[in-house]
Amino acid sequence: MTVAERIATYIANELLGDPTTTVAADENLLLSGRLDSIGVISLVAFIESDLGVTVPPEDVIIDHFISIEAMVAYLAQREDAAPHA
Amino acid sequence: MRFLLPHLIDAAAERSPDQEAFRFNGTGVPYAALASQSNRLAGVLRTLGVAPGDRVGLYLPKGLEAAVAVYGILKAGAAYVPLDPKLPAARLHAVLNDCGLRHVVTTDALRSRLDGLAATTPLRHLVGPTDHAEAAVPSISWSDVEAAPDRGWSAAGLTGHDLAYIMYTSGSTGLPKGIVHTHASSLSYATLAADVYGLRADDRLSGFPPLHFDQSIFDYMSGPSVGATTVIISEGHMMMPASLSQLMADERLTVWYSVPYALVQLLLRGALDQRDLSSLRWVLFGGEVFPPKHLRALMLQWPQARFSNVYGPAEVNQCTFHHMDTPPADDAVLPIGPIWPNAEGLVLGPDEAVLPPGEAGELVVRTPTMMQGYWNRPALNDRAFYHRPRAGGRTDLFYRTGDLVRQDEAGTYWFLGRQDRQIKARGYRIELDEVEAALLAHAAVAEAAVYAVPGPNGGHQVQAALLLHPGPAPTPREILAHAAQNLPAFALPARLDIIDQFPRTSTGKIDRRALRARAVTTT
């Protein structure tokens, strides 16, 4: 699964409790009401544990989390910035 | 003259037409434009048949349109009824019918939920969405409202006793109850709060609470009463503390009012070390208990700001406050303060005996900021007030808060808990009996017990234990999804256990206290 699919699956299964629902990559999750403040905290924790990325509080901003697309872009940018082992 | 809420914005428009009344996502609406746009909306509503005494729904995300809509509805002589866009359909349906909403201001994105309810509610017309032929309910678009003529506004035929808004909150029976405020009660609160907190025209208020939350009256009414600017905070910012703190810094907010939950999120996740929030001069919080260790940390973070613990049910808006002199110790219990001006408080014991300081009882309050009553609920209204006899056959009307308090010798009140099974979570009222009723509505559930345990960051968390009927067993998630058809999301249990047998009291009742104690020790 791609990063986008993993996040979409997590939102559908765990946050919305409905595996049959689809979450489009460009859906504005903050306006659609499908995420709430507790959902955001859970989602950040999922991303940190599932993808092994640390997301500092100052990075949890609208631009990075407004949609799955935005999250993927943010995570890619984090990966580019990370020093390669 | 100001005896109606719209007088606040019209007076500000005359004094300082270019001063911004509201801002949202970087755009502002000056008082002159707000006065004019609300005139246009009022005219459109009147054309659609809205008459004084009517109720008009507000089913909108946060934004400048919502602020225009509040004042436009009021200028049409109607009361606004704010509806949470996240309400489950069954609850939305109940509210539309309960107060007979024929007109609702909404958006293209939200209209489909209303169209679906058209057949079984009085709904006749929508304002805001683009009209289209297949829609169940006709609508007039927001751009048509903006293009409508501004014919000014007249207060003729309206008085301060007319209804201003009806705010729905959880009721223990499962049917939400509408708190009815008049222009007089809300204006009384708006101007009193502006005086108490020394609001000025150069203040910039945080529009954090949504309109269906009673704290919003401060932002939407007290701010305009002094010609200040209220910065409406978007749903996205409400969820993203680091974005919110950036907005607070960029907008140079001076006065903040919210539930403690929002401030705790800012403290824990708001990257506050990286933000210049030196403009903040007063932080008001209320609606539930602020965990002292977080309050202490926040007061140390913003030493220039004054902090006040604000108390009052939506039925009276507010009635006490406690100014914090110093950051509290970790184990401190904060008082809710003395009764504030233009109000009288009493502590009642059993049999309505007035108790002296030092004794615990129910707080009852008499004040012009008090609601008129609950919409269309005579039985509830009989119980909601205490009547104190006075000379000449008169009585004084006190609202019964249901909150247990004790007053000390200095006149300061201390909150001790509730008389009933209502709790607060993130500032929202939750009636535990209503949650039980919603769980029991699932055919497989035989018995349900719902109880509150301390939440992770202060406040309460709702948990439930269920006993199922013999037969195929649904999963906890299926039961929750069923309950979510009737309950708002904030009231859904965070944890639901299916158990084999309940602990019982000697009389055979479910021992909720034992369940709660067990939950506290295992989480």
Contact across the interface for B242 and A60, Cβ inside 8 Å? yes
Residue B404: pLDDT band with limits 50, 70, 90: very high
Lowest mean per-residue pLDDT among B73-77, B83-87, B464-468, B510-514 = B510-514
* CB B47 within 8 Å of CB B125: no
The verdict on a CB contact (< 8 Å) between A30 and B274 is no
CA–CA separation, B500 and B520 (whole Å): 19
Among B54, B32, B34, residue whose Cα is nearest residue B45? B54
Which chain B residues are Cβ-neighbours of A65 within 8 angstroms?
240
Residue A33 to residue B241, Cβ atoms within 8 A: no
Structure tokens at A85: 């082992």
A14 touches chain B (CB under 8 A): no
- Cβ atoms within 10 A of the Cβ of A31, count? 17
B198-243 tens-digit pLDDT: 999 999 999 999 999 999 999 999 999 999 999 999 999 999 999 9
Q: What is the ipTM of this complex?
A: 0.90
> In terms of CA atoms, which chain A residue is nearest residue B274?
A58
CA-based nearest distance B59→chain A, Å: 13
How far apart, in whole angstroms, are the C-alpha atoms of residue A4 and residue A24?
A: 10
The DSSP element (H or E) to which A78 belongs, if any, is helix A68-81
Q: What is the residue type of A17?
A: G
Position A85 scores a pLDDT of 45
Instruction: Count the neighbouring beta carbons within 10 Å of the beta carbon of residue B455.
Output: 16
**Radius of gyration in angstroms for the set of CA atoms belonging to chain A, rounded to a whole number:** 12
pLDDT confidence of residue B142: 97
Task: Give the pLDDT of residue B523.
Answer: 55
Does A45 reach chain B within 8 Å, measured CB to CB? no
In chain B, residues with a C-beta closer than 8 Å to the C-beta of A13 are none
pLDDT more than 70, % of chain A: 94
Q: How far apart, in whole angstroms, are the C-alpha atoms of residue B214 and residue B318?
A: 10
Nearest Cα of chain A lies from the Cα of B210 at a distance, in angstroms, of 13
pLDDT of residue B8: 98
Mutate to test the interface with A, among B59, B113, B212, B235 (most CBs of A within 10 A): B235
- Count interface pairs A-B at CB distance under 8 A: 52
Asked if pLDDT for residue B284 goes beyond 90, the answer is yes
Residue B88 DSSP class: -
Q: What are the pLDDT digits (tens) for B426-441?
A: 888 899 999 998 999 9
Among candidates B86, B109, B236 on the partner chain, residue whose Cβ is nearest the Cβ of A62: B236
Average pLDDT over residues B306-312: 97
At CA B175, angle to CA B171 and CA B181, rounded to 5?
Answer: 65
User: What DSSP letter does each residue of B367-406 carry, written as one string?
Assistant: -TTS--EETT-HHHHHHHEEEEE-GGG-EEEEEEEEEEEE
Strand order in the sheet with B125-128: B139-141, B125-128, B103-105, B55-58, B79-82, B163-169, B177-182, B373-374
Chain A hits for B86, CB-CB cut-off 8 Å, are 33
User: Which residue has better confidence, B426 or B497?
Assistant: B497
Question: Best mutation site among A29, A55, A62, A67 for testing chain B: the one with the most B CBs within 10 Å?
Answer: A62
> Quick check: B241 and A57 CB within 8 A?
yes
pLDDT at B493 > cutoff 90: yes
| Six-digit token string for B187 | 């204006």
Least confidently predicted of A25-39, B292-306, B340-354: A25-39
Are the Cβ atoms of B242 and A58 closer than 8 angstroms? yes
Residue A37 near chain B (CB below 8 Å): yes
Place of tokens 């109720």: B55
Task: Name residue, tokens 């007035």.
Answer: B354
For helices B260-269 and B292-301, give the axis angle rounded to 10 degrees: 60
pTM for the whole structure: 0.93
pLDDT digits (tens, 9 = 90+) for B475-492: 998 999 999 988 988 899
Nearest to B429 by CA among B199, B172, B106: B172
- Given this model, what pLDDT does residue B506 score? 80
Give the pairing type, strands B460-468 and B422-425.
unpaired
Instruction: Report the residue of chain B nearest A57, measured CA to CA.
Output: B269
Q: Which residues in A lie closer than 8 A to residue B236 (C-beta atoms)?
A: 30-31, 62, 66
- The lowest-confidence range among A51-60, B199-208, B273-282 is A51-60
| Residue in chain B nearest A30 by alpha carbon | B236
User: Is A31's Cβ below 8 Å from some Cβ in B?
Assistant: yes
Question: Which residue in B239, B246, B477 is closest to A37 by CB distance?
Answer: B239
pLDDT at B456: 73
Buried b (16+ CB within 10 A) or exposed e, B13-39: beeeeebbbbbbeeebbbbbbbbbbbb
Identity of the highest mean pLDDT range in B224-238, B443-457, B458-472, B500-514 = B224-238
Q: Give tens-digit pLDDT for A9-28.
A: 999 998 887 888 899 999 99
**Cα–Cα dist B7/B191, whole Å:** 12
Distance CA B265, CA B244 (A): 10
Chain B interface, mutation test: which of A14, A28, A37, A65, most B Cβ atoms within 10 Å? A37
Could you tell me if residue B70 is left (phi over 0), alpha (psi between -120 and 50 degrees) or otherwise beta? alpha
What is the mean pLDDT of the segment spanning B127-153?
Answer: 94
Q: Which of A14, A30, A66 to mutate to test the interface with B (most CBs of B within 10 A)?
A: A30
pLDDT of residue B172: 74
Residue B458 pLDDT greater than 90, yes or no: no
Q: What is the mean pLDDT of chain B?
A: 94
Helical pair A3-10 and A37-51, crossing angle rounded to 10 deg: 140
| DSSP of A11-37 | IIIIISS-TT----TT--TTTSSS--H
Q: Which residues of A touch B477 (CB under 8 A)?
A: 17
Mean pLDDT, range B8-15, rounded to an integer: 98
pLDDT at A80 over 80: no
pLDDT score, position B427 = 82
Query: In angstroms, how far is CA B271 from the centroid of its own chain?
Result: 27
Nearest to B66 by CA among B226, B236, B216: B216
Indicate whether A48 pLDDT > 80: yes
- What single-letter amino acid sits at B409? E
In order of B33, B70, B256, B303, the CA distances from B298 in angstroms are 37, 33, 13, 8
A74 lies within 8 A of chain B by CB = no
Distance CA B332, CA B344 (A): 27
Would an 8 Å CB–CB cutoff place A19 in contact with chain B? no
Tokens for B27, please give them.
């755009």
Write the residue in A41, A61, A66 that is nearest to B242 by C-beta.
A61
Task: Give residue B189's pLDDT band: very low, low, confident or very high (50, 70, 90).
Answer: very high
Looking at residue B472, what DSSP letter applies?
S
pLDDT digits (tens, 9 = 90+) for B89-122: 999 999 999 999 999 999 999 999 999 999 999 9
Please tell me the total number of residues recorded for chain A in this structure.
85
Please, which residues bridge with residue B422 across strands? B431
Region B461-469 average pLDDT? 93
Retrieve residue B161's tokens. 């006793």
Q: Closest approach of chain A CAs to the CA of B116, in angstroms?
A: 18
Q: Which of B230, B229, B234 is nearest to B246 (CA)?
A: B234
Pairwise CB contact (< 8 Å): B242 & A31: no
Structure token pair of residue B46? 């009147």
Alpha-carbon gap, residue A64 to A76, rounded angstroms: 11
Q: Per-residue pLDDT averaged across B110-135, rounded? A: 93
Residues of B in contact with A56 (CB under 8 A): 271
Enumerate the H helices of B208-365 as residue ranges: 216-217, 223-225, 235-239, 241-250, 260-269, 292-301
Which residues of B have a CB under 8 Å from any CB of A?
Answer: 61, 85-86, 109, 234-243, 246, 265, 268-271, 274, 477, 480-481, 489
Average pLDDT over residues B406-425: 93
